[in-house]
Amino acid sequence: MSSVWHPFTQHGLGEPIPMVSHARDAVIHTADGRSFIDAISSWWVTTHGHCNPRIMAAIAEQAGKLDQIIFAGWTHEPAETLAAGLRGILPRALEHVFFSDSGSTAVEVALKMALGYWHNRGEDRSRILVLEHSYHGDTIGGMSVGARGVFNRPYQPLLFDVGTIPFPSAGAEQATLDALEAECRAGAAAFIVEPLVLGAGGMLFYTPALLAEMRAICTRHDVLFIADEVMTGWGRTGTLTACEQAGVVPDILCLSKGITGGAIPLAATLATAPIFQAHVSEDRARMFFHSSSYTANPIACAAAVANLAIWRDEPVLARIARLGEWQQAALDRLAGVPGLIGHRRMGTIAALEIEQPENTYLSAIAPRLMAFARDRGVLLRPLGNTVYVMPPYSITRAQLDQVWGLVPDFLAA
Ligand code: PLP
Closest CA to 211 of 200, 224, 197, 222: 197
Q: Which of the listed residues 292, 313, 334 is the one where a domain comes to its end?
A: 313
Q: Domain containing 25 — which CATH number? A: 3.90.1150.10
Return the half-sphere exposure (C-beta side, CA atoms, 13 A cut-off) of residue 207: 11
| Domain contains 4 | no
118 and 192 together in one domain:
yes
Q: Whose CA is nearest to atom 12 of ligand 1?
A: 103
DSSP secondary-structure letter at 383?
B
Q: Domain containing 235 — which CATH number? A: 3.40.640.10
160 and 243 together in one domain:
yes
User: Who has greater pLDDT, 363 or 303?
Assistant: 303
pLDDT digits (tens, 9 = 90+) for 103-130: 999 999 999 999 999 999 999 999 999 9
16 and 71 together in one domain:
no
379 Cα to the center of ligand 1, angstroms: 19
Q: Is the pTM value of this prediction over 0.95?
A: yes
pLDDT digits (tens, 9 = 90+) for 36-87: 999 999 999 999 999 999 999 999 999 999 999 999 999 999 999 999 999 9
Q: Residue 37 region, left (φ>0) first, then alpha (ψ -120 to 50), else beta?
A: beta
190 and 280 together in one domain:
yes
- Average the pLDDT over 211-238 and give the result: 98
133 and 67 together in one domain:
yes
Please indicate whether residue 231, judged by its CB atom, sits closer than 6 Å to ligand 1: yes
267 and 297 together in one domain:
yes
277 and 403 together in one domain:
no
Q: Which of the listed residues 313, 348, 366 is the one where a domain comes to its end?
A: 313
292 labelled binding-site residue: yes
% of residues, the chain, pLDDT over 90: 96
Beta bridge partners of 268: 99, 255
The domain tally of the chain equals 2
Please indicate whether residue 230, judged by its CB atom, sits closer than 6 Å to ligand 1: yes
294 and 161 together in one domain:
yes
103 labelled binding-site residue: yes
Give the C-alpha distances (Å, rounded to integers) separating 326 from 296, 298, 343, 347: 36, 37, 14, 10
| Domain contains 96 | yes
CB atoms within 10 A of CB 353: 22
DSSP secondary-structure letter at 397?
H
| Domain range enclosing 362 | 11-51+315-412
257 labelled binding-site residue: yes
92 labelled binding-site residue: no
pLDDT digits (tens, 9 = 90+) for 337-391: 999 998 999 999 999 999 987 767 777 889 999 999 999 999 999 999 999 999 9
Give the C-alpha distances (Å, rounded to integers) separating 209 from 195, 244, 380: 11, 11, 31
Q: Is the pLDDT confidence value at 198 over 90?
A: yes
Backbone angles phi, psi at 345, to 5 degrees: -145, 140
130 and 23 together in one domain:
no
CB atoms within 10 A of CB 85: 19
ipTM: 0.99
382 alpha-carbon distance from chain centroid: 16
333 and 198 together in one domain:
no
DSSP secondary-structure letter at 95?
-
Probe target for ligand 1 pocket from 135, 140, 243, 388, with the most ligand atoms within 8 Å of CB? 135
pLDDT digits (tens, 9 = 90+) for 143-179: 999 999 999 999 999 999 999 999 999 999 999 999 9
| Domain contains 256 | yes
308 and 282 together in one domain:
yes
CB atoms within 10 A of CB 121: 11
**Distance from C-alpha of 195 to C-alpha of 32, rounded to nearest angstrom:** 40
Q: Which of the listed residues 260, 282, 313 is the one where a domain comes to its end?
A: 313
220 and 328 together in one domain:
no
